[in-house]
Amino acid sequence: MNKRTANLLCILIGIIWGGGFIATDAALDTFTPLQMLLVRFGGAALLAWIPVWLHKDRITKEALKTGTVSGIFLYAAFALQTFGITMTDPGMNAFLTSVNVVIVPFLAWAVWKQKPDGIVLLAALVCTLGIAFLSFSSGTFAFGWGDILSLGCSFFFAAQIVSLGRSESISIWILNAVQLSVAALLAIPFGLPGQWPTAFSSSAVVSILYTIFLSTFLCYLLQTTAQKYTSCAAASILMGTESLWANVFSFLILHNVPSPAMITGGLLIFAAILLVEGRPWIEEKILPVLRRKSA
């Protein structure tokens, strides 16, 4: 696999997660948020061990260590997001969660010495600005304890991405199974207590299956695969397009008419994709011209 294919996988993850916003919203009509985390990670973890058994891959100490760290960060991010969204505006929560796009390049630099270049930083800032337009299209803005939790969630999402930055030699099957299993185990004490639903609507079942199979099992398998061939920063930017795709699906499925702010945000996120994907062409054609003009 080359870097271009890995980047396309990251865009695919963003598309699937974008659809996952609608699926999760429907599932939350049946489950509490903490129950939903247990269901999604527990179901996805069980699925993730099937290919491990079929491939008969050997579980190494490195895989256990990396998967455990990644799984802890993953559950911490989702838990803080779950608590944060109950205490703040959904748009603010979505924006602060997506700030990981800016955090990742600097965190990867600090941990793995992957120094971000100007194009990547520009793409991260453009993507974040686009997410801001999408998140605050309703015109609301505030900052409180829920927003602090959402910002903490963003850091843990960034840490989860960076934790996979040196996983080239680890089996993707084992790494995915371990990280999802750790997240599922951490979800048990918080999600298991309480009254569970005894009846499920057909929409809830479809939403749960989408969340388990696609948004969790498949997407994190694709992420562990893609990050073997692309940088942490590029992966975070391209996966961060989920807010764009969520609005696209909201328009196509729920017929929500996008506002001018939403359209502006979508165009900015698309521009960030072009910056990441067109980076070789920019470095070869545009930057030399700019250097000559500034000389």
pLDDT in tens, 47-77: 999 999 998 888 999 999 999 999 999 999 9
Per-residue confidence (pLDDT) for residue 294, from 0 to 100: 65
CB 261 within 8 A of CB 141: no
Query: Which residues, other chains included, contact 31 with Cβ-Cβ below 8 Å and sequence gap of 6+?
Result: 39, 196, 197, 204, 208
Per-residue confidence (pLDDT) for residue 182, from 0 to 100: 98
pLDDT 10s per residue in the chain (295 long)? 899 999 999 999 999 998 887 787 778 788 888 999 999 999 999 999 999 999 888 899 999 999 999 999 999 999 888 777 666 666 666 777 778 898 999 999 999 888 888 888 999 999 889 888 877 765 555 556 677 887 889 999 999 999 999 888 899 999 999 999 999 999 999 999 989 988 888 888 899 999 999 999 999 999 999 999 999 999 999 998 988 888 888 888 877 778 888 889 889 988 998 888 887 777 776 767 666 666 5
Query: Which residues, other chains included, contact 279 with Cβ-Cβ below 8 Å and sequence gap of 6+?
Result: 119, 120
Classify 117 in phi/psi space as left (phi over 0), alpha (psi -120 to 50) or beta. beta
Q: What is the pLDDT of residues 239-282, one digit of tens each?
A: 989 888 888 888 888 777 788 888 898 899 889 988 888 877 77
Q: CA 135, CA 157: separation in Å to the nearest integer?
A: 18
Q: Distance from first CA to last CA of the chain, Å, rounded?
A: 39
With 0.85 as the threshold, say if the pTM is over it.
yes
Q: What are phi and psi of 14, to 5 degrees?
A: -60, -40
CB 98 within 8 A of CB 240: yes
CB count in 10 Å sphere of residue 152 = 19
Per-residue confidence (pLDDT) for residue 89, from 0 to 100: 63
